[in-house]
A and B are shown apart, each in its own frame.
Chain A
């Protein structure tokens, strides 16, 4: 299919991008890599009047070392994320999840910030950033991950706000990590995904972070699981027991690929597996 008509601007600076968005009012839409947006435009499910292409805004590119954290530029492609030595060293969970996003050609275009700003709860990266307590850096402020995802395909970004990047703490150095993605075919979205970080101290779990993909209208933290495993034994039985509460407080969707009930069940099984993989037991 063929998109409806729109105007196109390509600002050269962040200020120009913000101004362009402000000028467009409700009818503007930022295009990053376009790998989610273009299919929506082609299916005529969205009709923006102006596309603001932020590809030429230098502040949005690349991964920067900020000392105790990394700042991943919003326009850093999945492909660049996967090859980035800083990501590999300090945020290997991001790389693990990114490698499951779509396919190589889509990863060449699709961007880290774009997929987060799209706020699709079935996307793989939102749960990862949530698990890591990332901070969204925008043209006007900083938003903690827990406050960024508002609803299905909706973030708390204001209409004239541009996502510059995401700050990821380096504090997970040495933690075990795993992203468990469950889908029907290679191309299908996650029915459920589990992003998991485990800090082991000998045979015990010192701390853990668990966040879930596609278990609600936003990515969700499995806080009950995190507290249940923390301080407990790092073994499969303990993980299975703790994972029993993975679906607590979630309201997962029912769709073509799985019912709400089934997703709740999967969340428990997959969380146990993710914990075991992350803890290497």
Chain B
């Protein structure tokens, strides 16, 4: 009997078993004999010289074991790494894990206390005295690049880290005499990734063998980087990512606290734990987005796009962290979206400010690009009085035109924008909603209806090492998998991907079960520990399935190839006559003589009688490095009700039709889309990291940085079309970021669409009620962002 295929099955996840019962292994759960607790004293000012630090009182506090300043560790703490020098002349400032002489953002560590418990450590911070000599805060990117501006890094003589240009086609010709030119300035606000699990680190040493547990997305990269920074040899350092409570890019980082914990363990010879608080994390986990976009789009009068000019200022924050400078450049190849055009010019400058460093946040460069082009397409439609879907249809790459080399130089291998759009339009009841919109406009209803469109694509499966190399990225983008067939026939899969909520333990077992013909329950997936999974490139950029999943697929094939040889030997047949199906080998034409994979595995393990030159066991491994990215796409439609009296926006319905290629587990895919939508919608409506005029972050708690709760979000309608990727044998594309990338412009387009009769053509994000209302007043969309009294700190609207 043939078992139902695992690939494509909506199997509930096996990792849930520990997560729903509280048996999870979060980093903060780890207890070790003699464990000490670290707490960091952080800069309360945006920019200052440290003129004196007195830690003597803190050292005397009960329970305190040691206190170190940056100066105490200066000889060994090194500089936090930036692995992506995007240009040869990029300005790369020194970035000590604990500040030594100058602080450049609120929250930057200046000293660390090590104590017997977390309470004693927190108390001792109060006893450290730091003298700061104030330096000017640098907060506005456009001001920061002016002649004579105050500098973040005075020794560098500039606030500009780099300028990076990409050009294709004759941009001047495209704009010359263009019947339609649309120019806009959009701002991608600064966001705080807000994974539910705060960062945590535990470090221990036995002799000169170090183990570091961290709530990280990147145990493999972290190991290499920590070895480089601290001088602890890589082979003496084991990094473990236990259960990790979400990342969204924020745990794709090498943090100063990780370096410090390792150094303190080395110095003190004692295990050390550090767990951040949320308010500490809001100020110090790297932030996302923060980009000023100046855009020009030239088109013909029929709506055909001629050219696109993109000029970006990207806020790096105070320092360049692991991939900070490269994030906006991941968007460089995506501003053209799914559209054809004659010319494209992209320029990006990375700017230093005295704010928390930025880096990857879900989508990383691609949401910014998608937002820009999808907002511009709506503006173009409005300019030409065309339906926004029609103007897109006139420009998008037609299904029969794939594979298609875009103006940005990428080859989109596959896609079917027509099919996704047709399906979305139908599910959304597009025409019916347009009729209701017209009716509300006619009636002058104070609550107007808007319809927002987003037909997006993204590049996933980061990434072909060759391409990364050409972009000066400091590593490759391959992924590794090994498959171990145990003597009993059970299977262990080791993956270099490092799941932190994605469900790899289930999806990888599904792939393995199908390929090897073994029961799903017989497969166990191991990951997230450099001692177990010796090589890998970890999890980010929607790459795990399209790169790591394919590596696993290839490793399974190697197991079968090896087993086939062993089976032929056992069956006394020619290898070429041995077939493999449903977990068993048989000789073609002699189906009654067969050997199961388990039998073959046991024989290969016993090694009593092996074919000539055959090494015992069926274990195999494979490394996959894709030739190309993968390109998920989809059509998202959002209906929003806008209360013109208050500015309040309510999402009435949201339809997402995504094409992520072949699907291994539809349950997981749908979950990824839901969560992505929530984050993208939250950028459009709720979230913003706000700094005051002195450079203090005012959104330090969840009471101020507004994350949507269940009642703030609609019920989504999700569906799929399936156009397999042609660049990998699984036909998969990736789904981790699709929802986030697509939804932000869909929501803002809906809001602007609702308000077009009032002469509105933009509302800045997040589209708070006040901003919407102010835009309607014509008084400019600017929003008061002064912190002050009233509903600030405190509980969730909670009262004693």
Give the shortest distance, in Å, between A3 (CB) and chain B (any CB): 9
Take A185-B686, A214-B790 as given contacts and tell me if A1 and B799 are in contact as well, using a CB distance cutoff of 8 Å.
no
- Residues in B744-800 with C-beta less than 8 Å from chain A: 768-770, 773-774, 783-800
Are B774's CB and A33's CB within 8 A? no
Decide yes or no whether B28 CB sits under 8 A from chain A: no
Answer yes or no: A191 CB below 8 A from chain B CBs: yes
User: Contacts of A32 on B, CB cut-off 8 Å?
Assistant: 800
Give the complex CA separation of A190 and B769 in angstroms. Answer: 13
Find A36's partner among B123, B645, B798 (CB 8 Å cutoff): B798
By a CB distance below 8 angstroms, the chain A residues around B790 are: 121-122, 152, 189, 214, 252-253, 255
| A185-B708 contact given A36-B794, A255-B789, CB 8 Å threshold | yes
- B261-283 interface mask toward A, CB cutoff 8 Å, 1 = contact, 0 = none? 00000000000000001011000
Q: A-side binding surface: helix, strand, loop or mixed?
A: loop
Rounded to whole Å, the gap between the CB of B380 and the closest CB of chain A is: 31
Contact A2 B119 (CB under 8 A): yes
**Residue B701 at the chain A interface, CB threshold 8 Å:** yes
* Contacting pair A214 B799 (CB below 8 A): no
Of B704, B773, B795, B796, the residue contacting A262 (CB under 8 A) is B773
Give the residues from 684 to 708 in chain B that come closer than 8 angstroms, CB to CB, to chain A: 686, 690, 698-699, 701-704, 706-708
Known contacts: A255-B786, A255-B787. The answer to whether A106 contacts B796 by CB under 8 A is: yes
Contact B706 A188, beta carbon cutoff 8 Å? yes
CB-defined contacts of A259 to chain B, threshold 8 Å:
770, 783-784
With A185-B709, A186-B709, A254-B784 in contact, is A217–B798 under 8 Å at CB? no
Contact B791 A120 (CB under 8 A): yes
Q: Which of A20-28, A37-45, A128-136 contacts B (4 or more CB under 8 A)?
A: A37-45
The reply to whether B686 and A39 form a contact with Cβ atoms under 8 Å apart is no
Partner of B698, one of A43, A123, A256, A265: A256
Residue A35 CB within 8 A of the other chain: yes
Interface contact A265-B706, CB-CB below 8 Å: no
Q: Indicate whether A114 reaches chain B with its CB closer than 8 angstroms.
A: yes
Given A1-B280, A187-B702, A182-B646 contact (CB < 8 Å): yes
A256 touches B279 (CB 8 A): no
Contacting A at CB under 8 A, from B113-161, are 118-119, 122-123, 126
Give which listed residue, B119, B698, B774, B796, contacts A187 with CB less than 8 A. Answer: B796
Who on chain B is nearest to A103 by CB? B796
Q: Residue of A at shortest CB range from B699?
A: A256
The interface bits of chain A over 265-276 (1 if a CB of B lies within 8 angstroms of the residue's CB, else 0) are 110011000000
Interface residues on A, range: 35 or more
User: Contacts A1-B279, A187-B706; is A35 near B648 (CB within 8 Å)?
Assistant: no
B711 at the interface (CB under 8 A from A): yes
Q: Is B712 an interface residue (CB 8 A)?
A: yes
On whether the beta carbons of A115 and B800 are closer than 8 Å, the reply is yes
Q: How far apart are the CA atoms of A117 and B710 in the complex, in Å?
A: 30
Contacts of B798 in A (CB 8 A): 35-36, 39, 101-103, 106, 110
| A159 within 8 Å of B (CB atoms) | no
- A38 and B707 alpha carbons, distance in the complex (Å): 21
Using Cβ atoms and an 8 Å threshold, which residues of chain A touch B704?
256
Distance in Å: Cβ of B771 to nearest Cβ of chain A: 9
B118 touches A36 (CB 8 A): no
Contact A4 B123 (CB under 8 A): yes
Most buried by B among A5, A118, A185, A186: A185
CA distance A124 to B798 in the complex (A): 10
In the complex the two chains form, is B796's CB within 8 Å of A102's CB?
yes
In the bound assembly, the distance between CA atoms of A123 and B795 in angstroms comes to 11
Q: Are B792 and A269 in contact (CB under 8 A)?
A: no
CA distance A260 to B799 in the complex (A): 23
How far apart sit A103 and B710, CA to CA, in the bound complex (Å)? 12
Q: How far is the CB of A31 from chain B (nearest CB, A)?
A: 7
The answer, yes or no, to whether A111 is at the interface (CB within 8 Å) is: yes
| Alpha-carbon distance between A258 and B774 when the two chains are bound, in angstroms | 11
Cβ-closest 10 pairs across A and B: A115-B799, A189-B791, A114-B800, A122-B791, A259-B784, A102-B798, A106-B798, A253-B790, A35-B798, A36-B800
Instruction: Please give 8 more A-B residue pairs, beta carbons under 8 A apart, in addition to A102-B795, A118-B799, A262-B774.
Output: A36-B798, A120-B791, A124-B799, A182-B769, A184-B769, A186-B710, A186-B712, A254-B784
Interface residues of B (CB under 8 A from A): 118-119, 122-123, 126, 277, 279-280, 645-646, 648, 686, 690, 698-699, 701-704, 706-712, 768-770, 773-774, 783-800
Chain A to chain B contacts (Cβ below 8 Å), 11 pairs? A39-B794, A102-B797, A120-B791, A121-B789, A122-B797, A185-B706, A185-B707, A256-B699, A257-B770, A258-B769, A265-B773
